[in-house]
């Protein structure tokens, strides 16, 4: 099980299953959305996600018309993303997980954008 919450604490969730895999994404959209050099994500079945509080704080932003990036409208923490054509899969943003174990990333996307001072993923 993992628990996550946004920076201000308004949005809190838990996932009852173990997180099986995680991904680092260096794409430009993720970098700008997170304000960081990569996003650390895990795709999970939506049915495993339980919002504990904060439904009223969730805001969706569509930078591309298929993909919603969902964040806390109070503190701007990214919570998850999903695609309209894959509505049953949520891609959690793992930086906001505060409890539970997350496996090391096994997939690395858009590593050509990886800055040279980082060496987490081979190109
Ligand atoms: Zn918040
Ligand atoms: Zn990305």
Output the pTM of the full model: 0.91
**Distance from residue 123's CA to the centre of ligand 1 (Å):** 34
**What's the mean pLDDT when you consider all of the chain?**
94
Instruction: List the chain residues with pLDDT less than 50.
Output: none
Grouping H, G, I as helix, E, B as strand and the rest as coil, residue 56 is helix
Which ligand neighbours the alpha carbon of 81 most closely? 2
The pLDDT of residue 116 is 87
Using CA atoms in the order 106, 87, 67, 117, what is the torsion angle rounded to 10 degrees? -10
Tell me which CATH code domain 2-113 carries: 2.170.150.70
For residue 88, the CA-to-ligand 1 centroid distance in Å is: 24
Sign of CA dihedral 102, 83, 68, 118: positive
Here the tokens at position 75 are 């503190």
Q: What is the residue extent of each domain of the chain?
A: 2-113
């Amino acid at each position: 099980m993992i628990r996550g919450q946004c920076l201000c604490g308004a949005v809190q969730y838990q996932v009852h299953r173990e997180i099986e895999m995680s991904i680092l994404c260096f794409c430009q959209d993720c970098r700008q959305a997170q304000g960081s050099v990569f996003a650390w994500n895990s795709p999970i079945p939506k049915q495993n996600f339980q919002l504990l509080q904060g439904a009223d704080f969730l805001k969706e932003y569509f930078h591309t018309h298929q993909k919603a990036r969902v964040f806390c409208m109070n503190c701007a923490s990214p919570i998850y993303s999903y695609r309209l054509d894959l509505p049953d899969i949520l891609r959690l943003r793992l930086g906001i997980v505060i409890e539970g174990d997350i496996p090391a990333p096994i997939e690395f996307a858009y590593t050509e954008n990886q800055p040279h001072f980082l060496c987490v993923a081979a190109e």
